[in-house]
Amino acid sequence: MYKFQNRSARVMFFTLCAVAFAGLSGQTRAPVVSQNRAQWKLVWSDEFNGAQGSAPDPSKWKFDIGGRGWGTNEVEYDTSRAANAHLSGGNLVIQARRESYTGLDHVTRDFTSARLKTQGLFEQAYGRFEARIKIPRGQGLWPAFWLLGGDYEKTGWPACGEIDIMENLGNEPSTIHGTVHGPGYSGGHGLTSQYVLPNGAAFADDFHLFSVEWERAAIRFYVDGVLYKTVTPAQLPAGTQWVFNHPFFIILDLAIGGDWPGPPDATTVFPQAMLVDYVRVYRRSDLEAGDSH
């Protein structure tokens, strides 16, 4: 169990951001995709096409179970129950519920949800990581699709590195955040940017494709094929290190409350669900096989 996998208030402050607002003026930005797209080879995926109501594939996903806040003061208890994570209609459903729940560790919370990870099952350095997701909405909800360094248990956070492909505050329905964290640029000082849907559209209204293309010296963030942020070692604070040169694993979760979004309030409707149509990982055919395992 992790003591500190932080997706926290670290992105509350955007003084280090290069903020990219797609379509803010009502104009549509043309998609910018990798020039090497033809070289991407699919190496891992989950299409979530299992039987209705079944659990996520245990050969691909593990659960983080607990209710101690994950270092960010979240208020849910994450379980492995079908009520909080199951397959339905070709999607993974991660459902946040308002209910009193006491875990085996005797911690009681007033909300439940789920947090899935590929740690120990699939990890990869570099490549294209993408997921097609429909997020929920509401004050205090915090859906995310992110990567954490596979050496987390040895080096700790933030030395292991973290790539937040998509985070959303439920009370900001048109905005998602993409961020990287490492030693000396973590918490509120992570290198981050925003993507805003044009014309006031909400991410909760439909599925959207969230992705990163990660190379040795660049991480590019996309929404629906639109490039909105590129992070390189040259952007790091002086004296800090680029820690994105080893395998990372995938995390999908729907947190409730926490330092960044704040708690649910009377306007928040439960249950709420994050729907994941698929997760796919590619690698470049010209990269050495040792970059993934």
What's the pLDDT score for residue 27?
Answer: 34
- State yes or no: is 162 an active-site residue: yes
For 238-249, write each residue's pLDDT tens digit: 999 999 999 999
What's the pLDDT score for residue 38?
Answer: 67
Q: Are 109 and 67 in contact (CB under 8 A)?
A: yes
From the list 162, 172, 213, 215, the catalytic residue is 162
d(CA 122, CA 113): 23
What is each CA distance from 139 to 85, 143, 258, 275, 293, in whole angstroms? Answer: 21, 12, 11, 18, 38
What domains are defined for the chain?
9-291 (2.60.120.200)
What contacts 15, CB < 8 A, 6 or more positions away? none
d(CA 12, CA 290): 36
From the list 74, 76, 167, 213, the catalytic residue is 167
- State yes or no: is 288 an active-site residue: no
What's the pLDDT score for residue 64?
Answer: 98
For 88-147, write each residue's pLDDT tens digit: 999 999 999 999 999 999 999 999 999 999 999 999 999 999 999 999 999 999 999 999
d(CA 188, CA 11): 5
What's the pLDDT score for residue 187?
Answer: 86
Q: Which residues face 145 on adjacent strands?
A: 166, 252
What's the pLDDT score for residue 37?
Answer: 63
Whether pTM > 0.75 for this model: the answer is yes
Per-residue pLDDT of the chain in tens (293 residues, 90 and over written 9)? 333 444 443 433 333 333 333 333 333 344 455 545 668 999 999 999 999 999 999 999 999 999 999 999 999 999 999 999 999 999 999 999 999 999 999 999 999 999 999 999 999 999 999 999 999 999 999 999 999 999 999 999 999 999 999 999 999 999 999 999 999 999 889 999 999 999 999 999 999 999 999 999 999 999 999 999 999 999 999 999 999 999 999 999 999 999 999 999 999 999 999 999 999 999 988 764 445 44
